[in-house]
Amino acid sequence: MSKLKGVSEKSLNNNSRIVGLLAQLEKINADSAESDTARYVTSKILHLAQSQEKTRREMTAKGSTGVEILLSTLENTKDLQTTLNILSILVELMSAGGGRRASFLVARGGSQILLQLLLNASKDCPLHEELMVQIHSILAKIGPKDKKFGVKARINGVLNITLNLVKQNLQNHRLVLPCLQLLRVYSANSVNSVFLGKNGVVELMFKIIGPFSKKNSGLMKVALDTLAALLKSKTNARRAVDRGYVQVLLTIYVDWHRHDNRHRNMLIRKGILQSLKSVTNIKLGRKAFIDANGMKILYNTSQECLAVRTLDPLVNTSSLIMRKCFPKNRLPLPTIKSCFHFQLPIIPVAGPVAQLYSLPPEGLFFLSSFYPQHPLDCMRHMDDVVDESDDNDDTDLEAENEIENEDDLDHNFKNDDIETDINKLKPQQEPGRKIEELKMYEHLFPELVDDFQDCDLISKEPKPLVFEGKVRGPIVVPTAGEEATGNSGSLRKGVAAKAKVSPKGAEGDKKPAFVDLAKADAHDNDRTLQQQLGDQNRTISSVHGFNSDIVRALDRITLQNIPSQTAPGCTAGVKKDYSLPLTVVTCPKACPHMAACGNVLFEGRTVQLGKLCCTGVETEDDEDAESTSSVEQASVEVSDGPTLHDSDLYIEIVKNTKSVPEYAEVAYPDYFGHIPPPFKEPILERPYGVQRTKIAQDIERLIHQSDIIDRVVYDLDNPNYTIPEDGDILKFNSKFESGNLRKVIQIRKNEYDLILNSDINSNHYHQWFYFEVSGMRPGVAYRFNIINCEKTNSQFNYGMQPLMYSVQEALNARPWWTRVGTDICYYKNHFSRSSVAAGGQKGKSYYTITFTVNFPHKDDVCYFAYHYPYTYSTLQMHLQKLESAHNPQQIYFRKDVLCETLSGNSCPLVTITAMPESNYYEHICQFRNRPYVFLSARVHPGETNASWVMKGTLEYLMSNNPTAQSLRECYIFKIVPMLNPDGVINGNHRCSLSGEDLNRQWQSPNPDLHPTIYHTKGLLQYLAAVKRIPLVYCDYHGHSRKKNVFMYGCSIKETVWHTSANAASCDIVEDAGHRTLPKILSHIAPAFCMSSCSFVVEKSKESTARVVVWREIGVQRSYTMESTLCGCDQGKYKGLQIGTRELEEMGAKFCVGLLRLKRLTSPLEYNMPSSLLDFENDLIDSSCKVTRMWALEQSE
């Protein structure tokens, strides 16, 4: 041992007795004095340590050399009593100090000295029992604090010393106990564990543990903990299985469970379960557990423990073991590939898509015991082989933690994923394509060459937004302000538009007039439904008489059930025509699975609305409605924002939307439209133990297989499948735009397993769902299990609910998506796939989203979705409405086609800015020299919240607000609102039809496989080539595992700070401007959270839009803006789930942030008063109400 430092006056108090004794002991140690003196001094120190906490604190205080003196004496003394005294002192020092004092002892070389002392003491004959007890006790306490303790023990050759002590002294419990504790510490090292196993330690442990006994429970507990540590070694686990110890452990557990009536030995019972948990980490152990009827044993015992809350650790551990041992099952599908196929123009030479195309042909596979009634000759693809290899990964299976602890992987950066190459981090503009090739994009930038000589630019006064002969309110800023109290029957303005129905028309054909807001011809607007559909009505069958009733019922949204209570000043004239039938809609014959609505034909297909229940449409306040006048003025509170929804226009657009399955149906929510509900939806508080309960119900399927119905009730893989006629069975459908549901299996009477479809040309990415349910009964709790999700965690575990849209509610003037469901959780299930089938993806198991719903109406038609749906056709409808509504003298608006997608759909490109003040040279120059802001969204189809944020941005940019005009005068906006139309249309979650994540293709996009990315990048490259690099690029996304809205940006410095590299040596000079916009948004947008933002560049993200635009195009402010799918945990919306109102508000706030950014970046050029910006922010925060134009003019 190195020479000890002298005792300094600062560290030791001369007035303390312990200081003097330690100084005396140090002198004795240095002078090699007689052992009697050392024995006396150490006994005095021991007495003080035993009686005074102050003494113990002084000896382990920072700067004290007391422990070093003791260790030095221990190392050098030959006197047994002195050694025992010092060991007793060390025991006292660690008795109350916890881990800190143990670490203190380790830091001063205590581990090595004590191990050497153990080795020396083992040579004594006979062994001194007290000495061995003391040494083992101390080593067992300090060993866990020494990272190299296992190696030190093995090198010093003390493993067998401890093991032999146990073998030779099984009846000496006082000696065996500390030895077992030390064996447990040894076993933390895998090499030591195998070494001990070869020397019979596993067999030795089973000589100690046994059936229930009131004696030696402490020894039993330590032996079980040691056994659990030993069995983590696969070698030891196999040895235990070969000797039949799995059955022994189960027998012992049942014995303790039966006799421990007062639950005083819960730790022993848990120790047995921990040993079972360790041994079942290997395949042989799981098989032995099943063969020994372990599933039934643990299920029954855990159910008996549920009533006692203190036994939850036993229930949770039992649940974990059963889940792990549940036989791995393949999904009950013919193949895990998508049930839809799209032939690619070219096949990639490498990657998951190439691998998918190279898989072998169909082979014979058998369904597992989970679905025992399926035929055994079911054909499967080789791409769904279950990997049965051993794995020790219990992390995904840990029983639920009742305290919320989100697994946020985004802030826990892994150093190996952070880019450390400074040359790669430095933005370097790379032309990529020649300027001659980039000229193909010139026609998409007419604003750079247009001289506006033919335009009428005389007036800059805002023109009222008028829809061709119709009275319309101004486009206002979407807000998420407080809702006015009162009746919840708010209506969308377009839905509540004035409908003119002539008495003759009302009495004659009784078909209501649909208001078509998209038609330019005023005469078209006045056509009745009969005139509009005259050509098609020649082929209407008898069923379509029912459909006209449906349409009539749909039109009642605008004609009745207007709430009587409205906010003051919110008046909008609406005519009601109660001459239309208001009775319950009935059907003269059994309703087919799909009923054509309007019989609109296109391309040989029929555009259909999803089925409406034949038993009728429930209405509210029918008696009051019938007693009112046929025409009356009603005061209506409408949604904040312009009326962009038009059901007729939507149908027209759907005709031109091309899908792989050739969808011919329209979902009611997309037809009706959605308005935000007039109430807040709090984040759901999850009941204690709900996940455990759901898992137990899953385990019951294996134990009680005869109770499982196992009936397929929906199957896209079987085109000849017919819906069961049983009236108690729910009916499902997903054959509409953005729909995703592949198969449904009825498990119990009111429980269904749902399987989602893979992304087309892929065999994974299951998360997005959107489907229809009908045939329900009210007051019944229906459980839905979506069993093939892939993400390892979800906000469904932290308060998020799925969304439901009720047609009955929509007909009763409540056309909105609402958060529903109870007993919601997300957990790893027993369905599995091979790593080959996963396309090289990490993780082989699927996850389950489970939720329970009580439907309010009988035989309703309801829709469920992962998040608020926003289809491609909806986008096209919104863009058409914005185009038709804008003031061309004030707003420069262009909608171009960027390119065609793989399936032939157009990818829209929108340009928005302010018209020049005049066609004078100065004004045209100012117009052309405005900086660009480039925005994009929806590259991932399942992130529908990105489209709602984009909708808020577009509506704000097209509004007549003064700061919106100022914003347009500051920037030219180039917007690609949907980068992945094909994925959105076909219900994909993440990929395009190429089967690839488009946000990983930005480095080298293929024009044939990734046309939207190729040409969007081309636009940016063109801007860089003409020296017009955008000031800001932002790609809107959604995030499934975090709350709030936040941004990812790019920074060299912040990336280097997260690595071990020395930032100072890199001489990095970087403008911090990348933080400006997020900071602005954190002040003005209540949903935005600056602390969640990150500006680190990771290797895995180097091919994303954010990084490529930053690195290759040279845009410093290149961002990904992530919006939560769940809700907020800070700010104004803390504790609330996010809705479309808040998402649209975020899009508007983003625009205000850009205006403030302009003021900060160009203070001389841009001299707008801050008061105007503050006014704009207040305007967005307020609850804007849409009124009739004449009322607005009068108020002004």
The residues carrying an active-site annotation are 1122
Q: Tell me the C-alpha distance between 1160 and 305, whole Å.
A: 63
DSSP 8-class letter at 589: S
CA pair distance 1025, 1022, nearest whole angstrom:
5
Contact 511, 552 (CB under 8 A): yes
544-549, long-range: CB < 8 A, 24+ apart: 544/595, 544/596, 544/599, 545/588, 546/585, 546/587, 546/588, 546/591, 546/595, 546/614, 547/595, 547/596, 547/597, 547/598, 547/599, 548/511, 549/581, 549/585
Residue 265, helix vs strand vs coil: coil
Q: Which among 950, 869, 884 is positioned nearest to 643, based on CA atoms?
A: 884
Bridge-partner residues for 286, per DSSP? none
* Residue labelled with tokens 């790019």: 1050
- Decide: 953 and 1150 in contact? Cβ < 8 Å: yes
Question: What does the alpha-carbon distance between residue 593 and residue 872 come to, in Å, rounded to a whole number?
Answer: 25
1133 near 1048, Cβ under 8 Å?
no
- Residues in contact with 740: Cβ distance below 8 Å, sequence separation at least 6, in sequence order: 734, 756, 757, 768, 769, 770, 771, 987, 988, 989
Q: Which of 207, 127, 117 is nearest to 158 (CA)?
A: 117
Instruction: Give the β-pairing of 906-914 and 972-976.
Output: antiparallel
Question: Cα 34 to the chain's mean position, in Å?
Answer: 71
**Dihedral (CA of 1052, 1054, 1055, 1060) sign:** positive
CA distances from 488 to 478, 582, 639, 816, 864 (A): 19, 21, 12, 11, 21
Q: Which of 856, 864, 779, 852 is nearest to 817 (CA)?
A: 864
DSSP-based three-state secondary structure for 762: coil
DSSP 1121-1137: EEEESSBBSSGGGBTBB
Distance CA 429, CA 261 (A): 74
Q: Give 832's strand partners.
A: 845
**Contacts with 1078 (C-beta within 8 Å, 6 or more apart), sequence order:** 1046, 1047, 1049, 1088, 1090, 1093, 1119
- Work out the burial of residue 809: count CB atoms within 10 Å of its CB; fewer than 13 is exposed, 13-18 middle, 19 or more buried: buried
Orientation of helix 217-230 relative to helix 190-198, angle to 10°: 110
For 952, how many CA atoms within 13 A lie in the half-sphere containing its CB? Answer: 26
Residue 855's nearest CA partner among 822, 889, 879 is: 822
CA distance 716 to 701: 25
CA 269 to CA 932: how far, in whole Å? 67
Instruction: Give 196's Cβ-side CA count (13 Å radius).
Output: 38
Q: Tell me which residue of 156, 107, 115 sits closest to 139, measured CA to CA.
A: 115
Instruction: Give yes or no for a cis peptide into 724 (omega within 30° of 0).
Output: no
Structure tokens at 541: 């069958």
